[in-house]
């Protein structure tokens, strides 16, 4: 009985082979038991297909969209910022710092006896540059390099911590 | 009024930042997702919670949706995993499919379902009543196959099973549903007498 039902369900679902299909066609035509069972299962299959879907509450879509909006609003600011912007700002500062350091080092005249900062480049008379001697005074450069050192150590520490965490995982 | 755009087009619009497109996608699939959630939870409040959670999860991971599969199949997979997590939390017994004892009982059960005997009451009423009595997995497979327009392969994909396993499970689920229908109809006749 069970084997017959299994074959008939496969036949109704269209999941049996062509050969099997022909064999069942013949059985339905010739065998009364098969034919009755086939009619019964076919009726059931048609009933199943007519089943109605449940209707969700009227405000279902609205509630889901509200949930999504709330989730977006709760997103931390850090996650909301495009990483490319952060990378761009970081790139700009790194480039500026490097250029500044290169420029300063190339124009510095370090004497053994005194720390003399003087600009050796030649500029056109029409181009009036601000007096860099005052801007790049010894304490300012020292302060700038100290800040860079602290920033570098801070980033290096963050990198090491991240590496440690990923290893633990 | 629902959008005439395909699921993929609506997904692309949603990913481009158009939230209204996602609302259209919800309207298109909400009835089936809700029905499927009902099959697992057996009550409207929980089904609503599961269905809402599914759509929010789907929105969150929409960018990871592979266009090779149907959106509905991908969505039903989310429904299945969400419902399972929900049921586990609620400690509802979901052991079902490989319940051999029930299967043996079914094998020897005389079959006498007569579709003409349900004329006095709505047929869908009896069917829904019988489906509610099924175990969640059985009800979900039958629902996906008959109402979700999913092939055996797609159901297998949604439930993370082999297509042949789904075929066997579908066969058993139909047997059980038939048995429930017969039992309910007998009870109805008794009540009338």
Spatial distance between the Cα atoms of B83 and B80, rounded to a whole number of angstroms: 5
Q: Is A52 at the interface with chain B, CB within 8 A?
A: yes
Q: What would the pLDDT profile of A75-103 be if each residue is shown by its tens digit?
A: 665 666 677 888 889 999 999 899 988 88
Please give the pLDDT value at position B91: 62
Q: Is A5 at the interface with chain B, CB within 8 A?
A: yes
- Does the distance separating the beta carbons of A9 and B34 come in below 8 Å? no
Determine which of B25-34, B46-55, B155-164 has the lowest per-residue pLDDT on average. Answer: B155-164
Q: What is the mean pLDDT of residues B2-30?
A: 89
Q: Is A56 at the interface with chain B, CB within 8 A?
A: yes
How far off is chain B from A83, nearest CA to CA, in Å?
17
Please give the pLDDT value at position A121: 55
Determine which of A75-89, B33-47, B97-111 has the lowest per-residue pLDDT on average. Answer: B97-111
Chain-centroid distance, C-alpha B68:
22
Residues 6+ apart with CB under 8 A from A49: B146, B147
Residues of chain B found within 8 Å of residue A74, distances taken between Cβ atoms: none
Distances A49 to A9, A83, B126, B146, B149 between C-alpha atoms, Å: 14, 50, 14, 5, 10
Q: Residue B91, SS3?
A: coil
Of A1, A50, A71, the CB nearest to B56: A71
What is the share, in percent, of chain B residues with pLDDT greater than 90? 38
Q: What is the mean pLDDT of residues A131-156?
A: 79
Q: Residue B55, SS3?
A: helix
Q: What is the ipTM of this complex?
A: 0.72
DSSP string, A118-141: -------TT-----HHHHT-HHHH
Residues of chain A found within 8 Å of residue B128, distances taken between Cβ atoms: 51-52
| Residue B98, pLDDT above cutoff 60 | no
Of A48, A61, A64, the CB nearest to B142: A48
Please give the pLDDT value at position B122: 66
| Residue B49, pLDDT above cutoff 90 | yes
Q: What would the pLDDT profile of B110-147 be if each residue is shown by its tens digit?
A: 444 444 544 545 677 888 888 888 888 889 899 999 88
Determine which of A41-45, B11-15, B118-122 has the lowest per-residue pLDDT on average. Answer: B118-122
Q: What would the pLDDT profile of B172-188 be if each residue is shown by its tens digit?
A: 999 999 888 888 877 76
H-state helical runs in chain A: 2-13, 18-30, 32-49, 60-74, 77-80, 83-107, 132-135, 138-168
* End-to-end CA separation in angstroms for chain A: 56
Please give the pLDDT value at position A140: 77
Of B31, B131, B167, the CB nearest to A56: B31
- Does the distance separating the beta carbons of B23 and A61 come in below 8 Å? yes
Distances B137 to A152, B45, B98, B125 between C-alpha atoms, Å: 57, 19, 10, 20
What is the share, in percent, of chain A residues with pLDDT greater than 90? 24
Q: pLDDT class for A1, splitting at 50, 70, 90?
A: low
For B61, phi then psi, to 5°, come to -110, 25
Spatial distance between the Cα atoms of B127 and A43, rounded to a whole number of angstroms: 13
Please give the pLDDT value at position B113: 47
Residues 6+ apart with CB under 8 A from B81: none
Determine which of A31-35, B2-6, B67-71 has the lowest per-residue pLDDT on average. Answer: B2-6
Q: Hunting for tokens 């509200």 — which residue is that? A: A66
| Residue B105, pLDDT above cutoff 70 | no
- Does the distance separating the beta carbons of A52 and B124 come in below 8 Å? yes
Among B59, B48, B185, residue whose Cα is nearest residue B119: B185
- Does the distance separating the beta carbons of A15 and B26 come in below 8 Å? no
Q: Is A68 at the interface with chain B, CB within 8 A?
A: yes
């Amino acid at each position: 009985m069970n084997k017959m039902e299994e074959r008939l369900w496969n036949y109704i679902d269209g999941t049996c082979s062509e050969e099997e299909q022909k064999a069942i066609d013949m059985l339905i035509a010739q065998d009364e038991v098969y034919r009755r069972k086939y009619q019964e299962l076919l009726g059931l299959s048609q009933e199943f297909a007519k089943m109605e879907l449940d209707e969700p509450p009227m405000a279902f879509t609205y509630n889901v969209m509200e949930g999504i909006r709330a989730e977006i609003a709760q997103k931390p600011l850090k996650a909301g910022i495009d990483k490319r912007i952060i990378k761009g700002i970081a790139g700009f500062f790194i480039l500026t710092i490097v250029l500044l350091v290169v420029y300063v080092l190339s124009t510095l005249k370090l004497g053994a006896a005194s720390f003399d900062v003087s600009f050796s480049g030649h500029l056109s008379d029409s181009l009036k540059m601000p007096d860099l001697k005052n801007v790049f005074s010894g304490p300012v450069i020292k302060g700038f390099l100290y800040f860079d050192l602290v920033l570098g150590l801070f980033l290096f520490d963050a990198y090491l911590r991240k590496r440690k965490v990923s290893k633990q995982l | 009024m629902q959008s005439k755009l395909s699921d993929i087009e609506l997904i692309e619009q949603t990913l481009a930042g158009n939230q209204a497109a996602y609302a259209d996608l919800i309207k298109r699939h909400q009835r089936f997702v809700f029905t499927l959630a009902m099959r697992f939870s057996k009550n409207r409040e929980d089904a609503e919670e599961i269905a809402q959670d599914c759509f929010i999860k789907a929105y969150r991971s929409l960018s990871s949706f592979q266009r090779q599969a149907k959106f509905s199949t991908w969505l039903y997979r989310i429904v299945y995993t969400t419902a399972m997590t929900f049921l586990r939390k609620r400690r509802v017994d979901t052991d079902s499919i490989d319940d051999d004892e029930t299967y043996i009982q079914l094998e020897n059960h005389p079959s006498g379902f007569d579709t003409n005997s349900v004329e006095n009451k709505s047929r869908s009423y009896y069917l829904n009543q019988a489906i509610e009595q099924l175990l969640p997995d059985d009800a979900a497979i039958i629902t996906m196959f008959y109402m979700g327009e999913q092939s055996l392969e797609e159901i297998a994909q949604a439930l993370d099973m082999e297509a042949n396993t789904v075929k066997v499970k579908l066969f058993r689920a139909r047997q059980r549903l038939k048995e429930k229908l017969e039992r309910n109809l007998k009870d109805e006749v008794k009540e009338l007498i």
